[in-house]
Structure formats: C-alpha cells, structure tokens
Structure 1
Amino acid sequence: MGAATEVTQPASVADSVEMVSGQASLHQLLSIQDSSIVEFRPCVRSGVWYDIGARQNMEDEHVLIDDLVEYLGSQTAGTTSGSYYGVFDGHDGKNAAQFVKEKLLKYIVSDVAFPVAVEEAVQHAFLETDAAFAEACSVNEGLSSGTTAITVLVLGREIFVANAGDCRAVLCRKGKAIEMSRDHKPNVERSRIEALGGFIDDGYLNGHLSVARALGNWHIEGLKGVNCPLSAEPEVRRAVLTEDDEFMIIGCDGLWDVFTNENAVGFARRKLQQHNDPEQCSHELVDEALRRNTSDNLTVVVVCFQRNPPPRLFPRFLARRQIYPEN
C-alpha cells in the first residue's frame, strides 16, 4: 500500500525559465501563476488503498508520485516541485492498465506542449499512449485488453485532472464536493457515438463496454480506430488551489457505485479530522465501500493539500438566545 508522504510547495517561484532537452521546464508554468494566491502553499500528502472486492481478479492499477521532480530526476533539474497521481481500471485483463500506468507520464512530460500548455500535452499523451499500446498488441496479442484512466497533475498551485472513462476525482473545497471529472457512460455520449456509426445496447457501447472512452480495446472489432465510437481522448479540467481546498478523492467506479460525491467527501472529511492520515482515510473508504456491497475492484487515492486536518465548519449565522424580562 502507498505510504502517506508530504511535499510542501515553495512560496514563490523564480523569474528565469530553464530549458531541458529543448523544452521549457516546470518552472515556466509555475512562474506565471495568479499573484493573488501567491501566499498559499499547498502541502501535498497522499495515500492509497485497494482491494479485489467481489471480482476473481484484480485489474486496477494506480500511481502515486508526491515529488515529481525527484521522480523524473535530471529532466527537471532546478525546477519547482509537482505531483502526479493516477487510477487505471482495467477490463478484459490487466495489461492495458499496467501499460498506461508505466507509459503515460513519460508521454506527458516529453510532449512539446509541456509545461506551457498542459491540457494539450495531456491530451496528446493519452492518445500517444493508446497508439503505443495498439502497436504492442499487434506484436503480442496476449496483451489485448482495455482500461479507463484518470490522472491528476499538480504543478505548483494548479491542478489538472484528465479523465477517459468512469473513474472519478472529487475535490473537497471548504467541505463542499466539487466534481473534477465527468463519467463517460455511453448514454452520456450517445450523440457522438451514433454520429460515428456506433450504438448503445442496454447501456453498453456496441454491446461490449459500459464506458464510452477508454484506452486499449483494439481487439474488439469496430470499436476502436479512425471514425470508431470508442475514444481514448480525455477531458481535462483545471483548477487553481486556494486555502479553501482541503483534499481530493480519486477512485475507480467501484467506489462511486456506492458513494455519492457528497457522501464520500463528508465521510473522508470526518475521518481526516480524526487522524489526518490520507492512507488510513483511503483504507476506510475502501472498507466502507465493501460494507456497502460494491461488486467491483476498488482503488482509492486520497490527496491532501493542507498540513492540518480539515477544520470544523460552523453555521455562518447562529441563532441568538432570546432573553425576555420577567413579568
């Protein structure tokens, strides 16, 4: 299980832009952030827990990198810290989830658009990873499988959530649940699917998949390729972290089958107030999902953005006690 660690982001960024292998370093992105929040310093701490659940095989994968600069080594020498997290929910085997886990980040940071246009770099990386897996499957048919994928990239005070499939990321902002991704169920993308000649049968894309976006699945005829209905392109959402942002829950659909966004945030917030440990919180979310009889594999990542536990919230207006004079 992933141990909980913490990385404190520096309070300020230098003005210079370093070039690494002909590309701008992370420093360039961090040096142009909104000056109105320059005083806020996210303290990044994370933990993970997973369980096979009611399935015969565990097909989930995940990645936790609290210190992106340390992980990437000399490629980002002299830059400000960042973090990277991902949950990959495999189907028809685990090979696609393992492949995406291992390759996706490399494609992101090596893209010509990174780090100036992060959304563009991430979108390119998902598609490039998908194409690389197709090539790997053409050499070894035993790899054939698919996976949904959600990644969270934290660069300074900016956070980028990329999703293809039905994993989900939910941010807790001052106790409120903020959905940072959209579940790509076939019915949600019916118009796109039907425009490409696909169909939905009892909620399944072309009668095969319960998601409209995923990586892999090249072995299913008519589902993947040019003008085919299954897409590997992610939706990318960006947010700027402030002192109101407390933590984020990243989980596969096995969690969200039995938790609403608000329910999960409320549950996790109470646990973090008790022990302030993101790994233990992940474990407790998994245990509660099992207690609620989820039928899928479970992988849950909790990323905290504050050093202290979530504060107690009080009503904005408290009813005043009325005192009446005695008659």
Structure 2
Amino acid sequence: MEDYHVAKFVQFHGLELGLFAIYDGHLGDSVPAYLQKHLFSNILKQEEFWVDPGRSIAKAYERTDQMILSHNPELGRGGSTAVNVILIDCRRLWVANVGDSRAVLSRRGQAIQMTIDHEPNTERDDIENKGGFVSNIPGDVARVDGQLAVSRAFGDKNLKLHLRSDPDVTNADIDNETDLLILASDGLWKVVSNQEAVDIARKIKDPQKAAKQLATEALKRDSKDDISCIVVHF
C-alpha cells in the first residue's frame, strides 16, 4: 500500500477551500508522500490561480514534477499518480489528474467522470513518437516501455523521456443537484464502475463510512491493487 491522501478545509484569501487528493505511488511511497506535502501549496501560492486556475494548476504540476526529479537521489526512482480537487466556497470545483486515480461527481444520482484515465494504449502514439514503446509483456497489462501501466505520472526518472506529467484539468459548478464526489485510486475503479460507486455512496449519509464501504466492496470483489477512497457530500 503506497497511497497517500489529503482531505481538509482551509481558509485562504477570505475563502473556504476544500482540498482533496489521492496519490497512488509505485516503487515506494516517497513520491506520493512528497506530493501530499507540496502539491497543493505549489498550486495555491501562484497569484494567477485566482485569474486562470487551469493554467495555474498545470504549471504547478510541471514545477512539482521537476522538483521531484531534482530530488531523485533522496526520493528514489519511483513515481505516483495524482488526482487533486479544489473546492472553492462549496460553489466551484477544480479537478486535475495524472494517471488512473479518478474523480467521479454525482448529479441527481448520475455518475459523471471528471478525470481521464491515462493509459498507455490510449496515448501510444505520443509514447512512440518520443522513442518509447508500449508492451503487454510481462503480464497482460499495457505498460510504457514494458514497465509502467500508466502513461502519465510524477517522478519515474528512468521513464521520463517517454512519460508525461501534464494534467487534464476540468471544472464544475456545485448546485442543488450535486450529490457527492468520489476520489479513489485504481484499486476501486478496476472492480467497481462509476455508477456502482455512486449508488453505494448515496445510500450512506456519513461520507467517511461511505468511503470505507467502497473500499470494502472493492476487497469483496477481489481487487489486488492499492485502494484509497474519499467521499465528499454536498
């Protein structure tokens, strides 16, 4: 289990910000631990966040990845996926991700995927254009250079020439029809669909109990990967 998470509210520039994230590490937990400490602060310390949040988040992802790579001897050769959510005064939601940790929003009980799973087969052309390759050997999962099962991640210095770390960024308004938000690492999504996750979480009023129930359900379905989950009720 190499996951780290963030789930907290902070006061910032007179606004209430909800900060939620899941970082799913590979080859050790040093990179997700680093992200837990630094990524949100790297986003929010940029003044342009309040003018152009999407650009600011993308720049912070790039800067954080450079910082991780520059600390390679200390942090090791591993890496991490990330899904980050910033909730502004419970009215506006900004979501960013690299890798296959996912954010799913529920409106009137309907699941809406807010992130894009960055899988090697879907970004094969980009990987090959950079001189890399995608292979299902060893195993039966497509991997960048036969090693990593995601096409975007923080860290992974030995793969960085063929691996992206720029995020997909989306946003949404929170209104009276918005029920909840689920963030989870791929250990949940490999065995539970977006709609199934929403249906399970909506039945439980306490969000922490809902998150635990989703993790339990993934285990019942024999998930073999890291399982971390956050549920935010609106």
Query: Normalising to structure 1: TM-score of the pair?
Result: 0.68
Q: Which amino acid aligns with 2:122?
A: V
Q: Is the 8 A contact 2:25 2:31 kept in 1?
A: yes
Contact 2:200–2:210, Cα closer than 8 Å, also in 1: no
Deviation track 1:295-315 (CA, whole Å, cap 9, x = no partner) reads 01210000111xxxxxxxxxx
**2:26 equivalent to 1:87:** no
- Hey, what does 1:64 align to over in structure 2? 7
1:217 aligns with 2:156: yes
Which of the pair is proportionally richer in strand?
2
**Residue 164, structure 1, aligned to residue 98, structure 2:** yes
Q: Does 1:235 align with 2:171?
A: no
List per-residue Cα deviations over 1:74-98 (Å, max 9, x = no partner). xx35x12121100000000000000
Q: Name the CA distance, whole Å, in 2 between partners of 1:148 and 1:170.
A: 16
Q: What is the distance in 2 between the residues matched to 1:291 and 1:88?
A: 23
Partner of 2:133: 199
SS of residue paired to 1:258:
coil
SS, match of residue 301 in structure 1: strand
Match of 1:180 among 108, 114, 133: 114
Q: Following TM superposition, by how much is the alpha carbon of 1:238 offset from its aligned partner in structure 2, in angstroms?
A: 0.7
Q: Could you tell me how far apart the structure 2 residues matched to 1:96 and 1:235 are? A: 20
Once the 2 structures are TM-superposed, how far is the Cα of residue 279 of structure 1 from its aligned partner? 0.2
SS in structure 1 opposite 2:25? strand
Q: 1:282 aligns with which of 186, 211, 215?
A: 211
Within 2, Cα distance between the matches of 1:106 and 1:144?
A: 23
- Confirm whether residue 133 of structure 1 aligns to residue 68 of structure 2: yes
SS at match of 2:148: coil
The residue that corresponds to 2:139 in the other structure is none
Write the distance in 2 (CA, Å) between the matches of 1:192 and 1:115: 32
Q: Which residue of 2 aligns with 1:208?
A: 147
Percent of aligned positions that are identical: 35
Query: Secondary structure of the residue that 1:85 maps to in structure 2?
Result: strand
Q: Match of 1:266, as an amino acid?
A: D
Q: Indicate which of 168, 171, 182 corresponds to 1:249.
A: 182
Equivalent residue of 1:246, what SS? Answer: strand
Q: Which residue of 2 aligns with 1:147?
A: 80
Partner of 1:111: 46
Q: Deviations over 1:174-228 (max 9, x none)?
A: 010000001000011112112212210011111110000000111x2xx21xxx2
- Whether contact under 8 Å (1:96, 1:144) holds in the other structure is no
CA RMSD of aligned residues (A): 1.1
Q: TM-score, normalised by structure 2?
A: 0.94
Q: Deviations over 1:39-61 (max 9, x none)?
A: xxxxxxxxxxxxxxxxxxx2000
Q: Give the CA deviation at 1:243.
A: 0.6
Once the two structures are superposed, what CA deviation does each residue of 1:264-320 show, in whole Å capped at 9, x if it has no partner?
A: 1111112x2xxx100000111111111110001210000111xxxxxxxxxxxxxxx
1:267 equivalent in alignment to 2:209: no
Structure 1 or 2, whichever has the larger Rg, is 1
Q: Give 1:133 shift.
A: 0.9
Structure 1: stretches of 5+ with no match in the other structure: 1-57, 70-75, 306-327
Secondary structure at the aligned position of 1:128 is classed as helix
Give the deviation of 1:160 after TM superposition. 0.7
**In 1, Cα distance between equivalents of 2:221 and 2:193:** 12
Runs (4+) of structure 1 moved beyond 2 Å?
A: none
CA contact (8 A) 1:95 1:144 kept: no
CA distance in 1, matches of 2:212, 2:226: 14
